[in-house]
């Protein structure tokens, strides 16, 4: 179990709130791709997020004046963690997918120190911050966002891609308040079961903890956990000690707050079950069993896809396309200039990126 803690627990970043200087910019067209770009093509703004392998900056493509984000991925950190395959997988998967509720890749490049993913800028802030500000969501609001995730997973699974890292921190809101799923570092295209130990402790399915091999059903488990967290304000198996969290997950006992409706409790129980012969989304009816569940009975799925309905969470209005006021500012873990340059042998691991 101690090894699982080391492999699966992510670092914590201190962050503070402060004003950020806006970048001069233009509104991007619907579809763009930065061919043969280098990091010098971009003017960097504030840090929007940070993690174990680097940070994400808002940026302006100087030539086109388009606002985007640049995800810096430290080659040295990736090599040390033996995660090169995950970086390649993230890049390859993002190149293939195109869906309304998934963050778009706009380009990529690398140099001696970093791999750079150029991504669209989604200005409404991260879903975790909106959830934290409200404490918890009502069922109408939670259902709206759960429906967008259902369609996203349906799309990814149709391409044999599993996401494996659903949580509020990996969801963004656009200007209007619709979701965008971000961070595909743990996503993987699969043919059969995979045995990689990855994810976030509160959201891990039992089959991952037990190293039994896992497939698409792990995503439906995480959906059930997210629905619970949206409605309760905390995940169902929460504990300060990750080992205790894993034990609670394996025991499978869910305690529902009194305000949960009968239908949502039934849906969560059917998603958050260790028995794969009973976990909906994985059975004979597939995703139809989720879409036709009583909790989603009034959802018009075509309207969800076309973003017909007004989102229940409205981010603060922007003063400009580069306004970052819906985000909390992060402090970079390691100054960019302090990253070490790899040897030629180590650079070879990134040759086919």
Q: Spell out a b/e string for 107-145, using b for 16 or more CB atoms within 10 Å of the CB, else e.
A: bbbbeebbbbbbbbbbbbbbbbbbbeeeebbebebbbbb
Model pLDDT, residue 347: 86
pLDDT in tens, 94-104: 999 999 999 99
Beta bridge partners of 93: none
Mean pLDDT, residues 66-79: 95
The mean per-residue pLDDT over the stretch 50-77 comes to 92
Average pLDDT for the chain: 88
**Where does the pLDDT of residue 337 fall: very low under 50, low under 70, confident under 90, or very high at 90 and above?**
low
Q: How far is CA 77 from the centre of its chain?
A: 20
What is the per-residue pLDDT for 217? 94
Going by C-alpha positions, the residue among 55, 112, 106 that lies closest to residue 351 is 112
> CA 105 to CA 127: how far, in whole Å?
20
Going through the chain in order, the beta strands assigned E by DSSP cover 15-16, 42-51, 54-61, 66-74, 105-110, 114-120, 161-162, 171-173, 179-181, 188-189, 329-330
Closest-CA residue to 185 (of 56, 58, 99): 56
Angle at 83 between CA 118 and CA 352, to 5 degrees: 60
Q: Strands 54-61 and 66-74: what pairing?
A: antiparallel
Helix (H) or strand (E) holding 275: none
Residue (of 316, 167, 302) closest to 236 by Cα position: 167
pTM of the model: 0.88
Active-site positions read 165
- Asked if residue 92 lies in contact with residue 337, where contact means CB atoms within 8 angstroms, the answer is no
What does the pLDDT look like over 305-323, one tens digit per residue?
999 999 999 999 999 999 9
Binding positions: 80
The predicted pLDDT at position 30 comes to 53
Say if residue 247 is exposed, middle or buried (CB neighbours under 10 Å; 0-12, 13-18, 19+): middle
Q: Which of 222, 223, 189 is nearest to 208 (CA)?
A: 222
* pLDDT (0 to 100) of residue 241: 94
- Number of C-alpha atoms within 13 angstroms, CB side, residue 283? 12
Asked if residue 250 lies in contact with residue 210, where contact means CB atoms within 8 angstroms, the answer is yes
- Of 256 and 192, more confident: 256
pLDDT at 20 over 70: no
Instruction: Report all structural domains of the chain as residue ranges with CATH numbers, in order of start.
Output: 11-123+319-347 (3.30.200.20), 127-305 (1.10.510.10)
Tokens matching residue 255: 């305690």
| Known binding residues for ATP | 80
Burial class (CB in 10 A: 0-12, 13-18, 19+), 38: exposed
Chain segment 252-287, per-residue pLDDT in tens = 999 999 999 999 999 999 999 999 999 999 888 899
How long is the chain?
353
Calculate mean pLDDT across residues 197-202. 84
pLDDT of residue 15: 31
Of residues 30 and 216, which shows the higher confidence score? 216
Task: Tell me the mean pLDDT in the region 14-35.
Answer: 52
Q: Which long-range contacts (CB under 8 A, 24 or more apart) does 131-140 make?
A: 131/168, 131/229, 131/230, 131/233, 135/233, 136/230, 136/231, 136/232, 136/233, 137/230, 137/231, 138/231, 139/231, 139/261, 139/264, 139/295, 140/312
């Amino acid at each position: 179990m101690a090894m699982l803690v080391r492999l699966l627990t992510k670092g914590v970043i201190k962050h503070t709130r402060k004003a950020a200087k806006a970048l001069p910019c233009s509104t991007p067209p619907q579809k763009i791709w930065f061919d043969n770009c280098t990091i010098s093509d971009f003017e960097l703004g504030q840090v929007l997020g940070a993690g174990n392998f680097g940070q994400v900056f808002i940026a302006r493509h100087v030539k086109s004046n388009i606002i985007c984000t640049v995800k810096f991925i430290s080659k040295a950190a990736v090599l040390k963690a033996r995660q090169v395959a995950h970086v390649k997988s993230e890049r390859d998967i993002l190149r293939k997918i195109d869906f309304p509720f998934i963050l778009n890749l706009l380009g990529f490049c690398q140099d001696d120190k970093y791999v750079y993913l150029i991504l669209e800028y989604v200005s409404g802030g991260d879903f975790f911050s909106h959830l934290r500000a409200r404490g918890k969501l009502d069922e109408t609001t939670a259902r709206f966002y759960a429906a967008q995730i259902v369609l996203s997973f349906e799309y990814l699974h149709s391409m044999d891609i599993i996401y494996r890292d659903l949580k509020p921190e990996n969801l963004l809101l656009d200007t209007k308040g619709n979701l965008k799923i971000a961070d595909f570092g743990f996503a993987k295209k699969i043919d059969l079961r995979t045995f990689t130990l990855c994810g976030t402790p509160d959201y891990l399915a039992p089959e991952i903890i037990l190293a039994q091999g896992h497939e698409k059903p792990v995503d439906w488990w995480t959906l059930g956990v997210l629905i619970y967290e949206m409605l309760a304000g905390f995940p169902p198996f929460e504990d300060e000690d990750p080992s205790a969290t894993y034990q609670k997950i394996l025991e499978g006992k869910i305690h529902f707050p009194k305000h949960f409706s009968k239908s949502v409790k039934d849906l969560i129980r059917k998603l958050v079950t260790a028995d794969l012969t009973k976990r909906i989304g994985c059975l004979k009816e597939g995703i139809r069993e989720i879409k036709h569940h009583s909790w989603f009975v009034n959802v018009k799925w075509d309207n969800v896809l076309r973003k017909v309905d007004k989102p229940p969470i409205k981010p603060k209005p922007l003063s400009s396309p580069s306004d970052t006021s819906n985000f909390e500012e992060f402090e970079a873990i390691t100054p960019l200039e302090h990253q070490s340059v790899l040897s030629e042998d180590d650079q070879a691991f990134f040759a086919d990126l």
